Chains A and B, each alone.
Chain A
């Protein structure tokens, strides 16, 4: 057992956990944030994607004790009060989900992607960079549309802010 403190969505969370506890278990079972999903046991589906110290990772393949002292953002940490994050809003408008199971991971991966590319994205890049996220409903078409729309808005907002 180890005492682990991880700052999740800005709030430090300290728990006594077994060393074998995965980050996703820490988030879901110990902290009770169940927006982060588990869809596979092969590190392939991306449903568990969160941001660990600012980059998208699969939280099913990180030990919680190895993330001691780190900052994590989950899907619950994106919206500001009642206002959806622009990427969440774009998924809503473009119907970028069917059953919704992969959606938290898709959104966390997309937020990371848009940030890394400063919103400058084309369809081929979006499809390529979503390789680590699987949608069993095969709803990729609208997911890609949503990401491109959110990226464009991100770029425009930054261009406006720079002026």
Chain B
């Protein structure tokens, strides 16, 4: 790791001022994506601005129709939260499927969402649950937030403060894990919202990162059963292919995981 200077601001204003006052800064949350990158010298910010001491970024609140989670909330806290479990059990199951115990004790929802790794879990929940992303300066709809591999609508220096998930009528998450990393190789988050709309978000598979599978949404809106997806296939040229799984296999897995998510509404199915 190259030399760097660490800061631990206590307010959003202080954090943004630190960012804007330095040529090359990076926010730090749980560090479970950023620190491995720093150790391998894939990134070398001169300043690290730790956001975890900022009170607005902490905590979980559940209202009649929303689950609101602060950006610095750790995966283990979401996985174990009884109020979230009662409102959106699939969201707890998703958080509990990330990495391993130690990773879940440090990694945060804000870091994961801001990073938008194409194999990360949370982006699929944010998109399927039609969440609203609150930053230090504006409010973004999930549909506008994710903009391709490792790319989001966040401007340089913009802080993700909290995520407001819409509580659906029912939702399910099915994930086929990469056996070495535990990241998803193909995963589907399926939600039927209280207005009857169905949203299907796929992560781990698309060559542009997380995406909504609109053909599946149309079929499931009429008939929320696994059979409704029979015969529906994705174009492999839109999928990632790598040493873990070629694109045609990933396209197949997406369809299977989507059916499994529908079979497991109200739960998670982790393979």
Q: Tell me how far the C-beta of B235 lies from the nearest C-beta in chain A, rounded to whole angstroms.
A: 32
Which residues of the partner chain B approach A52 to less than 8 Å between Cβ atoms? 105
- The residue from B2, B39, B100 contacting A131, defined by CB atoms under 8 A apart: B100
Count of A interface residues, CB-CB < 8 Å = 29
Which candidate, B13-21, B29-37, B196-204, is the interface stretch facing chain A? Answer: B29-37
Could you tell me the distance in whole angstroms from the C-beta of A48 to the nearest C-beta in chain B? 9
Contact A65 B101, beta carbon cutoff 8 Å: no
In the assembled complex, the CB of A91 is this many whole angstroms from the nearest CB of chain B, namely: 18
| A20 x B3 contact (CB < 8 A) | yes
From B76, which residue of chain A is reached at the shortest CB distance?
A55
Q: Is the CB of A113 within 8 A of B101?
A: yes
Chain A nearest Cβ from B42, distance in angstroms: 11
Give the distance to chain B from A104, nearest Cβ to Cβ, in Å: 13
Closest to A2 in B: B6
Q: A72 interface residue, CB < 8 Å from B?
A: no
Report whether A62 and B31 are in contact in the complex, using a CB–CB cutoff of 8 Å: yes
Which residues on the A side are within 8 Å of B148 (C-beta)?
none
User: Cβ of A19 < 8 Å from any Cβ of B?
Assistant: yes
B1 to chain A, nearest CB (A): 5
- Residue of A whose beta carbon sits closest to that of B31: A61
- Select B2's contact among A20, A55, A63, A65, beta carbons within 8 Å: A20
B9 within 8 A of A: no
CA distance A9 to B252 in the complex (A): 51
Q: Check B101–A56 contact: CB distance below 8 A.
A: yes
B12 within 8 A of A: no
Q: Which of A41, A55, A66 contacts B105 (CB 8 A)?
A: A55
Q: Report A-chain residues with C-beta under 8 Å of the C-beta of B40.
A: 41
Give, as a whole number of angstroms, the nearest-CB distance from A105 to chain B: 9
Contact assessment for A132 and B1 in the assembled complex, using a CB-CB cutoff below 8 Å? no
Which residue of A63, A65, A133 contacts B35 across the interface (Cβ within 8 Å)?
A63
Chain A residues near B180: list those with CB within 8 A: 44
Please, which residues of chain A bring their CB within 8 A of the CB of B101?
A: 56, 109, 112-113, 129, 131-132
Say yes or no: is B256 at the interface (Cβ < 8 Å to chain A). no
Question: Is the CB of A43 closer than 8 A to any CB of chain B?
Answer: yes
A15 to chain B, nearest CB (A): 15
Residues B4 and A61 in contact, CB atoms below 8 Å apart: no
**How far apart sit A56 and B50, CA to CA, in the bound complex (Å)?**
20
Interface flag for B103 (CB, 8 Å): yes
Is the CB–CB distance between B48 and A43 below 8 Å?
Answer: no
15 additional A-B residue pairs with CB within 8 Å, beyond A61-B35, A132-B102: A19-B3, A19-B6, A20-B1, A22-B39, A43-B35, A43-B103, A57-B102, A58-B102, A58-B103, A61-B31, A63-B31, A66-B6, A66-B8, A66-B28, A132-B103
Point out residues on A near B: beta carbons under 8 Å.
Answer: 2, 18-20, 22, 41-44, 46, 49, 52, 55-58, 60-63, 65-66, 109, 112-113, 129, 131-133
